[in-house]
Amino acid sequence: MPRVNKSTAKKDYPEHGIAKGDVYYHWTPFRSAKRYSKEYPRPSVVEPNGTRSAYLALQESLSDALEGAETMEDLRSAVESAASEAQAVSEELHEKAANIEDGFGHATERSDEFEGQADEVDAWASDLEGLSLDDFDIDDLEEGQDVDEETESAFEAAKTEVEEALAGAPEI
């Protein structure tokens, strides 16, 4: 990944919304144009590899969804979305490996590496799909009924389970 630098603008960069005197961040991916941002960029933005960038973006979106989750349905939809995106990344890695093998006519070290990464991501997606998120939803309570400690602890336990699964995401 390219290094992200912090600078103070000595001139305006209107196409990036940066005015003279503003603090901004910039980085230059290999053989690409310089990129600018007023906020520190996320790893998925800085990563030049498309597959890895998509994988990092799905982890970031799951993390963001966890922070904003207020109901069990929010957790379920975030996990389902992340699992389907992880399956797409896994398929892309399998395709990369197959393309290398087709080009060389045999398996190579790099194609084996892609296959291994695809298998790890696929296993992680299966782990996400296999999470046991309770069917109870805070929104299902009758009007005027209080949320008891057991319900809140079940929601927090489910949230912790998703956080642990996110922490166990493989590196690609």
pLDDT one-digit tens code per residue, 52-94: 999 999 999 999 999 999 888 899 999 999 999 999 999 999 9
Same domain, 88 and 145: yes
Would you say residue 129 lies in a domain?
Answer: yes
Instruction: Give the percent of the chain with pLDDT over 90.
Output: 78
Would you say residue 56 lies in a domain?
Answer: yes
Same domain, 68 and 136: yes
Would you say residue 172 lies in a domain?
Answer: no
Same domain, 127 and 150: yes
Range of the domain at 24: 5-41
Which residue positions in the chain have pLDDT lower than 70?
Answer: 134-148, 150
Q: Evaluate whether 60 touches 43 at the Cβ level (below 8 Å).
A: yes
Residue 161's pLDDT is what?
Answer: 93
Please calculate the CA angle 114-115-116 and round it to the nearest 5 degrees.
90
Q: Evaluate whether 55 touches 89 at the Cβ level (below 8 Å).
A: yes
Q: Evaluate whether 124 touches 170 at the Cβ level (below 8 Å).
A: yes
Closest CA to 169 of 35, 65, 79: 79
